[in-house]
Structure 1
Amino acid sequence: MTGTYDPALVALSLLVAILASYAALSLAARVTESRDSATLGWIVGGALAMGAGIWTMHFIGMLAFSLPIAMAFELKLTAVSMAYAVVASAIALTVTSRPQLRLHYLLGGGLVMGAGICAMHYTGMAAMRMSPPIRYDTGLFLSSFAIAVGASVVALWLAFNLRSRSEGTVIKRLAASAIMGVAIAGMHYTGMSAAQFSPGAMCLAGGGPFALQGDSLAFVIAGVVVGLLVLALIASTVDARLSQRRAVMIARLEKSNEDLQHQVEAREQAQAALSQSLAEQQRLAEILQTRSAELERSNRELEQFAYVASHDLQAPLRTVNGFVQLLERKLPQAEGEVREYLSFISEASNQMRELIRALLELSRVGQNGVHATDFQLREAVDAARLAMKALIEERGAVIETGELPQVHADRPLVTQLLQNLINNAIKFQPQSRPLVRIGASCEPGEWVVSVEDQGIGIEEMHQKRIFQIFQRLHTSDRFEGNGIGLAICEKIVHLHGGRIWVSSEIGKGATFSFTLPRREAEPPPQPLEAA
């Protein structure tokens, strides 16, 4: 029994293979550039995106093949074939993230990755459940395995050598993606050529409750996976650019500190031998002022870049959501699995939109500068409590305050700071009627304000990183949030020239403290009753 191919689906499978190859090269570079704490996340996310792309090419190629009988695919074996693609992708990213690609790693990784791709293909073929079973031409079978291993070795070598972001890398990646895509497709169609179907054979997969069939399924899967690959590439590009700008800013700051330290050491040495002249002191002051201005300018540039990047990312997300909605209208009678796929991509887009919204919120804090005025801190507490009235009443929370001073600061920003800290204090107290205590103490040149709770507490090893953006200690199904509230708090405190920190023990609650500048003429704290 002889089969035929749909040229349109064959071309679509080749395009998906090329796109998946380009995503693989880009994600391999991001895995290498990421810090230790983020490497595992990029490997897992990259493996899912790459594996889905490689598997989609294979599945569309399967749907492009037709026999003079009804064809379908068993869902369980199809899912197993996709798992092989994800595992092969994870191996590839792990191998290419090494600082050096030695020959035995290259060949070993290529062999395992090629075997995984072959396992994906032939498991996908088995999902047809043909009776009598499919027989394979030995020579073509071995050829498909050799192509898979050879393509994997070449792919690993290209991914390792195209990890940098030097000039011309994008063009080289596009060319390499075309070569890799053709090789992956070549392996698939060689394997298909090896398959021999007996006369009168029947496909038994169509009778099950979870069978996959229908030409429209190819376009739905292609649309969903292409959307995922595009999102992965967008996330990789934005994260890489933000990391690059952050590295530049840190390098500038370190260089400024080193230069200043050299100047201070030179000054101390000069003071030991002879007195320091007024001109030298003025010169050092000018150097320090120049370095501070450079750092401030770098911060503004980084914030502006984050704002623009976050704003521009909303357009492709709206496009992805639009296509998902269009597919839902075009396929009103689609099978449950197809609608589930559409739900997955829609949920992923919504999560990405929330992260972008949070990034925009962080970039807007202090964008118009700090407008400091004199006000009683209790007024900011009252405003924060009013904004959180619904949550306080719902949880039966009790807000106790001690003596609070008059401060000279930006009142809306301080209100937002207190609101975020009170919200966290209530959220991380699972018991009923959570208690929050707010107090202030006078220190030389500053006020120290504290927000204390009786919640679950924070381990010492995590007490510094919780102020970093998107750093969460708990999953969203246990405690909601996007991991940006404390990053906003830290930014507001730094805009006022202060410090913020946390003191905590597991099971004994946490106390968040921050400082605000104090002027000698400011009146003493005033008491405020509990509410």
Structure 2
Amino acid sequence: MRLRRSLQNTMLVMLVSVTALVISFFLYIRWFMEVRAGLMDLAGNLNLDLDRVMAPETFSVILTLSVLVGLILVGLSVIYLYYRRAMSLYRMQRRFIRSFTHELKTPVASIRLYLDTFLRHELPRSEELKYLAFMKKDAERLSEQIERILNLARIEGGMTPLSLECTDLGEKILSIYHANPQLSGLSLHIHPTDKKIVYPLDPGLFSMVLGNLMENAMKYNDSGAPSMEIHMEKRKNRLFLSFRDNGHGLDKKNEKKIFRRFFRVNPKGAVPGTGLGLHLVHHVIRMHKGRIWAESEGPGKGSTFIVSLPLRTGECCDVK
């Protein structure tokens, strides 16, 4: 409601500005014509040269008019850009609310159904264990979505300070991979395998980055054999990590948009999501003074997410 009221106020300001511009044009032209006619009469009565009298007055009026109209047009342009951005955010927020509501209601409805089944029927132990496993999976899914929202709120609010530790990147990636059973279907390949790369990271926050990128490689993949190639290398004074998958891929127009809050490439697709994962990844990388961007050869040709981190002198940057 507050956002809608803000948009209405923006539209009101735009309408008032356009009206002011039209009235200004009318008044400026009328004023100019009246002043010019008066000066011409005065010059005629005094037998003065009209060209010498009118030239400075005409120039000053045109200059004043141009400056004022220019300022009004700049103001309208700024208002229009903010209006478009606000409208885009409003639409994405509505999609997020619908999607997130679905993400919360679905596991809750599933757990309630299993609990009703337990209350109404006596089941064999094997059936009970099967349903309990389903309930645990739904509870974990619910907890994951709530935790993601809380993490984003804490990070964007500046309530999560960095706690850097010297971290073996290869071991960290493997630990996240093995700690998440849902990633068991992902074929993971890390390069190089013969070098130990140590870098100062916040282990908890960077785990979110790795988990999101690997999870996306699984979720947005129709190949039947999801895979991810991770390359780590030093170039000049930066460390580059590239995560290449064989998933859905991206259009060029979406390579930057996917890091926006609430943005989803296909909001009506079969794959559930909230549009917050990569936005959270982007924030964490920025907290580490790094950059992240996406590259893709097109839909169906996979995506590559590249992380660039500074190599700081005097810290535990063991990168050769």
Alignment TM-score, normalising by the size of structure 2? 0.52
Aligned counterpart for 2:187 among listed residues 398, 423, 427: 398
- Are residue 435 (structure 1) and residue 230 (structure 2) matched? no
Kept in 1: contact 2:183–2:214 (CA 8 A): no
Kept in 2: contact 1:420–1:486 (CA 8 A): yes
1:462 Cα deviation after fit = 1.3
SS in 1 for 2:188: strand
1:380 Cα deviation after fit = 1.5
- Are residue 473 (structure 1) and residue 265 (structure 2) matched? yes
Aligned counterpart for 1:517 among listed residues 285, 310, 314: 310
SS in 2 for 1:100: helix
SS in 1 for 2:307: strand
Same amino acid, percent of matched pairs: 26
User: Cα RMSD over matched residues?
Assistant: 3.2
Gaps of 5+ in 2: 20-84, 90-142
SS in 1 for 2:163: coil
Quickly say closer, same or farther: Cα 1:501–1:411, change in 2 above 3 A: same
Which structure's residues are more often helix, by fraction?
1
Quickly say closer, same or farther: Cα 1:455–1:372, change in 2 above 3 A: same
SS in 2 for 1:502: strand
Quickly say closer, same or farther: Cα 1:28–1:414, change in 2 above 3 A: closer
Structure 2 distance, partners of 1:418, 1:502, is 15
Alignment TM-score, normalising by the size of structure 1? 0.33
Give 1:423's aligned residue: 215
Kept in 1: contact 2:291–2:308 (CA 8 A): yes
Give 2:14's aligned residue: 99
Kept in 2: contact 1:384–1:418 (CA 8 A): yes
Structure 2 distance, partners of 1:372, 1:380, is 14
Structure 1 distance, partners of 2:291, 2:187, is 27
Matches within 5 A, 1:1-400: 29-32=5-8, 99-100=14-15, 358-365=148-155, 367-389=159-181, 391-393=182-184, 396-400=185-189
Amino acid at match of 2:153: S
1:458 Cα deviation after fit = 1.0
Amino acid at match of 1:31: L
1:387 Cα deviation after fit = 3.0
SS in 2 for 1:363: helix
1:377 Cα deviation after fit = 0.2
Structure 2 distance, partners of 1:524, 1:28, is 51
Kept in 1: contact 2:259–2:282 (CA 8 A): yes
Structure 2 distance, partners of 1:354, 1:370, is 22
Quickly say closer, same or farther: Cα 1:97–1:473, change in 2 above 3 A: farther
> Aligned pairs, how many?
191
Amino acid at match of 2:186: A
For residues 312-340 of structure 1, the C-alpha deviation after alignment (integer angstroms, 9 at most, x for no partner) is xxxxxxxxxxxxxxxxxxxxxxxxxxxxx
SS in 1 for 2:304: strand
1:466 Cα deviation after fit = 1.0
For residues 144-198 of structure 1, the C-alpha deviation after alignment (integer angstroms, 9 at most, x for no partner) is xxxxxxxxxxxxxxxxxxxxxxxxxxxxxxxxxxxxxxxxxxxxxxxxxxxxxxx
Structure 2 distance, partners of 1:99, 1:505, is 41
Kept in 2: contact 1:446–1:518 (CA 8 A): yes
SS in 2 for 1:383: helix
Kept in 2: contact 1:426–1:436 (CA 8 A): no
Give 1:12's aligned residue: none
> More relative contact order in 1 or in 2 (CA 8 Å, sep 6+)?
2
